[in-house]
Amino acid sequence: MKESIIILTGGGPAPGINTVIGSITKAFLARGYRVLGLHGGYKGLFTPNPSYTEIDFVMADTIFNRGGSYLMMSRYKPTEEDYAGNFNHGLFQDNNIKLLVTIGGDDTASTANRVTKFLQARNYKISNIHVPKTIDNDLPLPLNTPTFGYHSAKAEGTRIATTVYEDARTSGIWFIVAAMGRSAGHLAIGIGSSCHYPMIIIPEMFNKTKITVDKIIKLSISSIVKRKLMGIPYGGIMLSEGVFHLLDEDELTATGVKFTFDEHGHPELGKIPKAQLFNDILEIELKKLGMNVKMRPIEIGYDIRCQAPISYDLLYCTQLGCGVYELYTRGESGCMVYVDTIGRIKPLYLKDFQDPKTGKIPPRRVDIEGDQAQGIYKHIVQYITPSDYEAAREYLSNPEEYDFHKILNW
């Protein structure tokens, strides 16, 4: 019987998944392997009738440049009971599977390591290689290497945000645009700066002060008033969903937000209408100040996860897919495939990223002190400074409280 590999996808979608699947398939088919694609993530390994597809060259060549994931995804995380009584050994034995390839986040990677050890303990020899993905760009890869899907998601987010900004200019109104990103602000600052939004609010900018709803609102009003002083009646506020991660419980309670959590314990921020929430709070504060500013909320999130990958991710994900074959032939297992900035393929290991005390991988955040971020906040973002105080008193009795640098203690 031919040797086989099996591929599964976990977590949420990211542009480039199909490119990885297609590239892995082409590499292994050319060496005589069968390639199986498992639907439903890890759930497929713990059911007596898993849904899987044998992927041939035509299918790989058809899907490699498409968005989404041909393999159905899930956030399923197997329990102790699953390992004890539900694991499908037959799937591996009957198909002579020698390599488990997983595409997902750190939870997907750690589960792959456990599945491999589980099989090896039962005298079934198998390797596993993980391909890390997230549009949030918060996995701390070496040399600030981006995670696949980030650039494509950012490009689509920029397209949407550009259209929104043109609507703001055309209609003479303001938009609050909330961007995905979990606890990091990479997408928000990437999209916001690409579109020259006059205010970009990310969690990393609160590095010298506690984040509060009041400060978020004051930053927004600071930008609105600054633009009024410039004679500009429109604008956009780009807000990272990551600010919710830093708000304390009292602040969250005051907003009326009630979190639900996914299978891995992550707050399901996608269920919360963040732009609408802050839009409503901001409108109330503007009315208190006697300012007539029309506001509209926009969410950027699920609509950027399944877009077709741009050229950058098509090439990057092709390299990652080919890298899976290269690492496998070198005898690597229990690792993540990594392609450095000059195209070299290397293995990375979860233990090198994990906090030794918690076992968790700390997210990579925006380098708020770096030249790129500082340049954006010095030259693109607009806000009240001391030179504006006198003119700003037309709108604010206490413009000092809306000074960008004082709010952030910068």
Which residues are tagged catalytic?
136
Contact 408/199 with Cβ under 8 angstroms? no
The sign one gets for the Cα dihedral 139, 107, 272, 135 is: positive
Which one, of 166, 246, 164, lies nearest residue 201 by Cα? 246
How far, in Å, are 135, 152, 155, 205 from residue 159 at the CA level? 16, 11, 6, 25
Given a contact cutoff of 8 angstroms between Cβ atoms, the answer to whether 281 and 112 are in contact is no
- The rounded distance, in Å, linking the Cα atoms of 395 and 225 is 7
For residues 326, 44, 74 and 319, what is the CA-based torsion angle, rounded to 10 degrees? 10
